[in-house]
Chains A and B, each alone.
Chain A
C-alpha cells in the first residue's frame, strides 16, 4: 500500500516524495525534542526518562493509543481545514470560530429534533455543523476574493465573535432548563457518534477524519480543482494569466475550509461532549494551524502532525500523575514544535512574496 502511495504521490509533485515529506515533517519535531531535552536537563529532569514516559503514555497500550487517536480527531479536521485555505493562498486563522458555530449547530439539531431516528438525525446534525461552518466563512471569503480584504484580520476577528455569540446563546435562548452552567441540553442518543472502544472516548469521528485525509489527498494530488488551487496559491498572477478563475477558487476553498472547520465542531459535539458548552474548544482551530504548517499541507503530513499533537495532549494530561514533571513541560514542547514548524513556513512565505 505504502509503496503504491509513494510512487503516485511523486508524480505531479514538485520534487517531494512520500519519504521526503515525512522527513521534512519530522525535522521540526526532532529539533524541538533536542531543545526540550536541554531544557529538561537544566530543570533537573532526565530527558530520556521523560520522553520514555511521554511515549508510554501516548502509545503504551491499546487504551492509550485510543486516547491519542481521540485527541487527534478534531486536530485532523482543523488541520485539513486550514491547509485547504493555505493551498489557495489564504491564511485562514478562523477555523476556531467555525469549530464553535459548527459544534453549536450540531448540538442544536441533536437536542431539538429528538423524534427523528438515528439514520436521519445523526447525518442531519453533522450536515448542520458543515453548513454553519461554511456560512461562518462566507463574509471573509467574499471580502477576500472580491475586494482582496486581508483574510487574517477578518477571520481572526470572527473567532472572537463566534466564541462570544455561542457563549451568549448557551447562556440565554439555548441554555438547558435547570442548568446553572452555560450549556445546551444533551443531544439525543440517536444523534451520537458510535464509540469504537469501550471505556474510551474514541468514536466514529476518527474514522470520518481518516476518510477526510484520503479525500484531501485525492483532491490535492489528482483533481483538476486541487491542481488549480495549488497553482493559484503559489502564484496567483500566473494562474490568472493561464485562464484560471483565482477569485472563484479562493472563494470556494475558503468556504470549504469553513465547512470542514464546522465538521470538526460537529464531530466533537456529537462524539465527545454530547452538547455545546461554553469553552467547547480548547483552541482546536489554532492547533490546526500548527498541524497544517507542520504537515506542510500534505495529507499524510497533516495526519502525522495531528497524531503528534494528539499524543502530546494525551500524555501531557497523565504524565503529572506518574512523575514530578509538570504539565508545563509538555506545553513547552508543543510550543517549540510550533516554532520550528513556523520557521519552515516563513521560508515558504518568502518565496511567495517575491
Chain B
C-alpha cells in the first residue's frame, strides 16, 4: 500500500468529520473518493497530506505508520496535493511558479532561468503536455493553471498526487485532457487520489473507488465491480425523517423567474435559461450537488448580481432591473449560505445584526435618529421567541455558537413576515437540535402563507421540507418531483440523470 489511513478520526467541535476511517490506495492506481458535501473527503485528504492531524488513528505511508508534521513532511515522503483553490502567484510566469520555493540558483542567489527551463522541458517530455512558460499566471486559463499545479508537484518529486475536485472548474474537453494526463502518470507508477462529485468521470478513469458519507467510509471497491447507479445509492444512503410535514394550502405565485441565464467571467454559461415559480404556502427546493449553478441562481434571484437574460418577478412586479435593496423592500428575504462573511457581521453586536435591514422601519426611526431603546426591546423579544441563547444582546454575534448565530440570521429574515424567503443552506454547520428547530421555523413560516425557495445540498432536508423539488444539474433544471418522491430518483437526477 502506497498511502492510507487506519482508524483516523477527526472532530471539529461537535462535528465528526472523519469517523475511524480505514483507507488504502496502492501504487500505480487512480483512486477516486466520492461522497456528498460534508462527507469528510477533503478532511481525509488534508490529513493524508499533513495539512491536518487526526485526533486518533494514523496515516500509513508505504505500509508504515507515520506522523506527518505538516505539508513539507508529506512532500518529503512524495505526497503532494492540488487544492480546489490554486496556490499560484498571479504576477509570476508559469516557469517561475513551477520552480517557486525550489529554484535552481546561480551565484549570488540569482535564479538560473536556463536550468529552470530545462526542468520544465523535461517535465513536458514526461507528461506530454506543452505550456507557454513565459505566460503570466493571471493570463493563463484555468485548465493551464491546473496542469501547472500538477507539474509543480512532479517537479518537487511527488509520486502521490491528491487532487481535490480537479474537474469542477473545467470544460468537458479539458476534463478529457486532464484524465488522459492522470492515466499517463498512473501508468508510470504514480498514485493518484482524486475527489469528485461527477460519477461519469469517476467511472471512466479510476481503478478503485471509495464512497464516503457522514465522515465514514461506506465502501471501497474496484471500479470494474460497481456501477454509477450503485455509487449514487451508496452516496445518498437512507434518509431520516424526524419531522413529518404535510402539504399546506398553496396560494398565488410570489416569486417567478423566467428563462434566466448567467455567464461567468470566463464566458462559461453557468445558468442555462432556468424558469421556476414559488407560491404562497409552499416550499420549493432546489436539489443538486454543489457547483451546478446554485450560487448563480441565488445571486440572480436576490439581485446581488445583475441579470443579463431573463426576468424575475416578485409579487407580480418585475424586479429584474432592481438590486437587492429594492427587492427586499418588495417583500424578499434572503438567508445567506455564507453566515460568517455575508449572513452576519460577526464583529457587530447581536442587536446590530438582528436589526440590519429593518432599522429604517418607521417604528425604529425618527428624523434620521434610531430609537435604540425600542430597537433593543424589539430585538430581545424577537430573539427570545427564537430561543437564542445569549448573555447579552450587546455582545458581538460572533461569540454565539454556530446554531445560535443561524437563529439570529433566520429571526432577522423572518421578522415582519416577508412575502418570500430564499433560504440557502439554512442548516449548514448547525447541530441536530438546531436543525430541527430551523426546519420548524421554515414550516411555520410556510403555514402562515410564506413562500420559501430552499436551496440546499442536504437531501434529507429537502425531502423533509419541500413540497416540490426541482433538481439542478449543470445549470439546468433537469427534473421536478412532488413531495414523497423516491429518494433514489432524486439522487440519480442530481448526479446527472442516472436511471
Is B342 a contact partner of A241 (Cβ separation < 8 A)? yes
In the complex, what residues of B have CB within 8 A of residue A242's CB? 328, 356-357
Q: A14 vs B342: C-alpha distance in the bound complex, in angstroms? A: 18
Give bound CA distance, A223 to B360, whole Å. 10
Judged by a CB distance under 8 angstroms, whether B376 is at the interface is: yes
What are the residues of chain B within 8 A of A244 when measuring CB–CB?
A: 325, 356-357
Give the residues from 329 to 346 in chain B that come closer than 8 angstroms, CB to CB, to chain A: 329, 334, 336, 341-346
Min CB distance A205 to B, Å, is: 27
Contacts of A224 in B (CB 8 A): 359-360, 365, 368-370
Contacts of A10 in B (CB 8 A): 394
Give the chain B neighbours of A231 by CB distance below 8 A.
345, 348, 352, 356
- Contact A243 B329, CB 8 Å, known A10-B394, A14-B394, A15-B395: yes
Task: Say if the beta carbon of B324 comes within 8 Å of chain A.
Answer: yes
Q: Does B396 contact A (CB under 8 A)?
A: yes
- A117 an interface residue at 8 Å Cβ cutoff? no
CA distance A11 to B351 in the complex (A): 9
Answer whether residue A234 sits at the interface, using C-beta atoms and an 8 A cutoff. Answer: yes
Selected contact of A15 from candidates B302, B342, B345, B394, CB within 8 Å: B394
**Is A181 located at the chain interface by the 8 A CB criterion?**
no
**A15 and B351: CB pair below 8 A?**
no
Query: Binding site of A, secondary structure by majority: helix, strand, loop or mixed?
Result: helix
Q: How far is the CA of A221 from the CA of B302 in the complex (A)?
A: 30
Q: Report the bound CA distance from A10 to B357 in whole Å.
A: 22
Q: Is A217 part of the contact surface with B, judged by Cβ < 8 Å?
A: no
Q: Does B347 contact A (CB under 8 A)?
A: yes
Whether the Cβ atoms of A239 and B345 lie closer than 8 Å is yes
Complex CA distance for A13 and B329, rounded to whole angstroms: 27
**How long is the Cα–Cα vector from A221 to B352 in the complex, in angstroms?**
11
B347–A234 contact, CB under 8 A?
Answer: yes
B370 touches A240 (CB 8 A): no
The answer for the CA separation of A231 and B354 in the assembled complex, in Å, is: 12
B425 at the interface (CB under 8 A from A): no
The answer to whether B345 touches A238, judged by C-beta atoms less than 8 angstroms apart, is yes
Q: List, in ascending order, chain B residues with CB within 8 A of A239's CB.
A: 345, 356
Closest beta carbon of chain A to B371's beta carbon, Å: 9
Q: How many Å lie between the Cα of A242 and that of B355 in the bound state? A: 10
Is B349 among interface residues, defined by CB-CB distance under 8 A?
A: yes
Indicate whether A12 reaches chain B with its CB closer than 8 angstroms.
Answer: yes
In whole angstroms, what is the CA distance A15 to B391 when docked? 11
Q: A10-B394, A238-B343, A240-B324 are in contact. Are A15 and B349 (CB under 8 A)?
A: yes
Interface residues in B346-389 by Cβ distance below 8 A to A read 346-349, 351-352, 356-357, 359-360, 365, 368-370, 372-373, 375-376
Bound Cα distance A320, B286 (Å): 75
A128 vs B304: C-alpha distance when bound (angstroms): 40
Chain A residues 216 to 243 lying within 8 A of chain B, measured CB to CB, are: 221-225, 227-228, 230-231, 234-235, 237-243
Separation of A242 and B304 alpha carbons in the complex (Å): 10
Contact with B along A126-165 (1 / 0, CB 8 A): 0000000000000000000000000000000000000000
* Nearest A residue (CB) for B355: A227
B375 partner residues in chain A, CB cutoff 8 A: 12
Contact of A235 among B304, B345, B372 (CB under 8 A): B345
Q: B344, B347, B359: which contacts A14 (Cβ < 8 A)? A: B347
Asked whether B372 lies within 8 Å of A222 as measured between CB atoms, the reply is yes
Contact among B328, B342, B395 for A237, CB-based, below 8 A: B342
Report whether B304 and A240 are in contact in the complex, using a CB–CB cutoff of 8 Å. yes
Whether the Cβ atoms of B349 and A235 lie closer than 8 Å is no
Q: How far is the CB of B203 from chain A (nearest CB, A)?
A: 39
Chain A CB within 10 Å — which of B302, B349, B373, B396 has the most?
B349
Interface string of A71-86 (1 = CB under 8 A from B): 0000000000000000
With both beta carbons as reference points, the residue of chain B lying nearest to A221 in the complex is identified as B372
Chain A proximity mask over B157-175: 1 for CB below 8 Å, otherwise 0: 0000000000000000000
A10's nearest neighbour on chain B, judged by CB, is: B394
**Residues in B whose Cβ lies below 8 Å from that of A225:** 368
A215 → B minimal CB distance (Å)? 13
In the assembled complex, 24 residue pairs joining A and B whose CB atoms fall closer than 8 Å, in A order, are: A8-B372, A10-B394, A11-B373, A12-B375, A13-B394, A14-B347, A14-B352, A222-B369, A224-B365, A225-B368, A227-B352, A227-B370, A230-B348, A231-B352, A234-B348, A235-B345, A237-B342, A240-B304, A241-B304, A243-B324, A243-B325, A244-B325, A244-B356, A245-B325
- Given pairs A11-B372, A224-B370, 17 additional interface contacts (CB within 8 A): A10-B394, A11-B373, A12-B352, A12-B375, A222-B369, A223-B369, A227-B370, A231-B345, A231-B348, A234-B348, A235-B341, A235-B342, A235-B348, A240-B304, A241-B342, A242-B356, A243-B329
- Closest 3 A-B residue pairs measured CB to CB? A243-B325, A242-B357, A14-B349
Chain A residues with CB under 8 Å of chain B are 8, 10-15, 221-225, 227-228, 230-231, 234-235, 237-245, 351
